[in-house]
Chains A and B, each alone.
Chain A
Amino acid sequence: MPADAAAHPLAGVDARPGVPKPDPILVVDGVSRAFGGLRAVDVAHLEVQRGLITSMIGPNGAGKTTLFNLLTGFDSADSGTWALDGRPLQRAAPHTIARAGMVRTFQLTKALAKMSVLENLLLGAPGQRGERLLSALLPVRWRDQERGVLERAEALLERFTLAHMRDDYAGTLSGGQRKLLEMARALMAEPSLVLLDEPMAGVNPALVQSLLGHVTALRDEGMSIIFIEHDMDVVMGISDWVVCLAQGAIIAEGLPRVVGADPLVIDAYLGTGQADRSEEGS
């Protein structure tokens, strides 16, 4: 977290839903998705600032994961547009969106069980020449690139404390290690914006600290991060900006302590009568 509030890039930005940001990496407009009669997502306008950690909070069923699915092409929006660095991505296929620089992880981790931890990472690298059918048969065309990919993968494994499990099947990892693996694998894709869907869920408290450390380190390196999280302490501790969803719509956004104190958020997210407790927490 930035040291003092004055240095915060969003210090002067109003805490109201849909507020414009000075340097948005992602701009979302009028995105909606209904499942039958249920309006799962209905986001009028959202801008995500570059180079910061934006947390997305909200009660269960608020539409956080659905919004992730829509933005990354894993579900199709009924309406709306969104652009990453000015490049429109609505109606694009998931792989196109990932290649454009917006890479997501999943709430239920998708470790490739029968592949090694290292192979899981190698897969993530973008633009591999050896993935084209004819080049695949000619190692000269991809061997050099593969060496570079391998180096990057090993560095990431080291960083995410998975190096000792390099050659183990990913299916043998614990839940927390899978979260680490998935995050590392997403980073292999060299994203400009990562969407982490509950990266801390089911991870033991000791590991949570190191995961949080990784997330802030990535931010400090200039990556933009959106992450969904339920734990208010985690959100308050790590976020530069917080967006709160309820019933598919953004009901509040702002600096963590502002959103944490917003009565609307406390009502929707923590339930009525919880206002006092949240005051203590922030």
Chain B
Amino acid sequence: MEELLKIVADAIRGAIGVQGAAFALAAVGLNLHFGYTGLLNFGHIAFMAVGAYTMAIVVDNGASIWIAVPCGLGAAVVLGLLLGIPTLRLRADYLAITTIAVGEIIRISIRSSAFEPVTGGVFGLQGFANEFFALNPFSPGTYGVWRITFSERSLWVMTVGWTLVALTTLLVWALMRAPWGRVVKAIREDEDAARSLGKNVFAFKIQSLCIGGAIGALAGMVLAMEAQAVVPDRYLPQTTFFIWTVMILGGAGTIKGPIAGSIVFWFIVLATEGLLRQGIDSGLIPDWLLSSQQVAAVRFVLVGLLLMALMIWRPQGIFGKREEVLVGAR
């Protein structure tokens, strides 16, 4: 019982903590891309990497984070333009392929020795978060209720992270209730129909890609602040797919989906991991079946199964409308 409570508490802590906030934030951006505009962005991690690295590099060169963060956002917008201008006039699948490639190109470039003087190569960059933590209003100590406690540093990153989630969600909501959102949703449904009514589809797609990308960059910055480091191998393609999972779990094309999706996703991942570890430690899961080194991999297998079940019985996600999925299938 004691162990079980600990597992639940740890899972909740992760889900509402920095990880949950950062993935929710990233999913808000991806939701604008895919959920609302229908853009198949399979390289969201590229925006996160570009945002985090630009911020880190700018601070590394002696600037304040008040300059570095806008630079990170600006870099994400530039990436959006570079990605979008050649591909958004083409069919949706071209963007999908390009984004996967760009995500890897960026990761491999920043870890290459050629860029080591700027990016720190495989070792990355550290020590750029001091100014951010100097702003921390929480005095040292632990905060929280029951077993769900956070250090003052985590609490500060969390606060900033969830505040950004709230602000960006509000931004997306405001855009979606406006005629701008109507055009973007029409593009998702059928871009030729939007064109035939005089809408400049390309311009709307570029705007969506850049705004969503900038929100992704914010998520990258939050994670970088928490780790107080940027390391290239934290920006693997699988992160993009976790964000997709979060978005679909919550309900693509819904306002609250990314938030609920992220919390639920991390709760499931962390609780599964906790239970498996507990099972191995207590001998309930025999050694020949699963060793503790394999847990990290197996938990995602279980998450995959859970997602399959979800897609079968609740394809619209937590907040999606079932009729929309049915209508779309016609």
Partner of B196, one of A103, A111, A114, A131: A103
Which residues of A from 48 to 92 have beta carbons under 8 Å from B? 72, 74
Whether A186 sits at the interface, judged by CB under 8 Å, is yes
Whether A44 sits at the interface, judged by CB under 8 Å, is no
Whether A110 sits at the interface, judged by CB under 8 Å, is yes
Query: Could you mark each residue 92-130 of chain A with 1 if its beta carbon is under 8 Å from any beta carbon of chain B, else 0?
Result: 011110110001111000111111000100111010111
- Knowing A95-B200, A114-B189, say if A171 contacts B181 (CB, 8 Å): no
Nearest CB of chain A from residue B157's CB, rounded to whole Å: 28
Which residues of B from 175 to 229 have beta carbons under 8 Å from A? 175, 178-183, 185-186, 188-190, 192-201, 207
Complex contacts, B201 vs chain A, CB 8 Å: 95
Nearest CB of chain B from residue A48's CB, rounded to whole Å: 18
Which residues of A from 159 to 198 have beta carbons under 8 Å from B? 169, 171-172, 185-186, 188-189
- Name which residue of chain A comes closest to B171, CB basis: A137
Which residues of A from 126 to 147 have beta carbons under 8 Å from B? 126, 128-133, 135-137, 139, 142, 146
- Knowing A98-B197, A132-B180, A136-B180, say if A113 contacts B174 (CB, 8 Å): no
Complex contacts, A133 vs chain B, CB 8 Å: 175, 180, 207
Q: Is the CB of B196 within 8 A of A113?
A: no
- Name which residue of chain B comes closest to A172, CB basis: B327
- Knowing A123-B186, A169-B327, A171-B328, say if A142 contacts B198 (CB, 8 Å): no
Q: Is the CB of A115 within 8 A of B180?
A: no
- Name which residue of chain A comes closest to B193, CB basis: A110
Q: Is the CB of B185 within 8 A of A130?
A: no
CA A129 – CA B180 in complex, angstroms?
A: 9
Partner of A94, one of B185, B196, B323: B196
CA A183 – CA B175 in complex, angstroms?
A: 27
Nearest CB of chain B from residue A280's CB, rounded to whole Å: 38
Whether B330 sits at the interface, judged by CB under 8 Å, is yes
Whether B287 sits at the interface, judged by CB under 8 Å, is no
Complex contacts, A139 vs chain B, CB 8 Å: 178
Q: Is the CB of B197 within 8 A of A113?
A: no
- Knowing A131-B179, A132-B180, say if A113 contacts B328 (CB, 8 Å): yes
Q: Is the CB of A171 within 8 A of B327?
A: yes
CA A110 – CA B169 in complex, angstroms?
A: 30
Most buried by B among A103, A123, A124, A186: A123
Q: Is the CB of A137 within 8 A of B175?
A: yes
Q: Is the CB of A169 within 8 A of B323?
A: yes
Which residues of B from 304 to 330 have beta carbons under 8 Å from A? 323-324, 327-328, 330
Q: Is the CB of B179 within 8 A of A146?
A: yes
CA A96 – CA B179 in complex, angstroms?
A: 19
- Name which residue of chain A comes closest to B183, CB basis: A131
Q: Is the CB of A112 within 8 A of B193?
A: yes
Q: Is the CB of B178 within 8 A of A137?
A: yes
Complex contacts, B328 vs chain A, CB 8 Å: 113-114, 171
- Name which residue of chain B comes closest to A189, CB basis: B197
- What are the 6 tightest A-B residue pairs by CB atom distance, in nearest-first order? A171-B327, A130-B179, A98-B198, A136-B180, A136-B178, A110-B193
A-binding residues in B (CB < 8 A): 171, 174-175, 178-183, 185-186, 188-190, 192-201, 207, 253, 323-324, 327-328, 330
Chosen A-B contacts, 30 in total, with CB atoms closer than 8 Å, are A95-B200, A96-B198, A98-B195, A98-B197, A98-B198, A99-B198, A103-B196, A105-B196, A110-B196, A111-B193, A112-B189, A112-B190, A113-B328, A113-B330, A114-B253, A114-B324, A123-B194, A123-B199, A126-B198, A130-B180, A131-B199, A136-B178, A136-B179, A137-B175, A137-B178, A169-B324, A171-B330, A172-B327, A186-B197, A189-B198
Sample of 19 further A-B pairs with CB below 8 A, known A136-B181, A137-B178, A185-B197: A74-B195, A93-B200, A94-B195, A95-B199, A103-B198, A106-B196, A110-B193, A111-B193, A112-B186, A113-B189, A114-B328, A123-B194, A130-B179, A131-B183, A132-B180, A137-B175, A142-B179, A169-B324, A186-B197
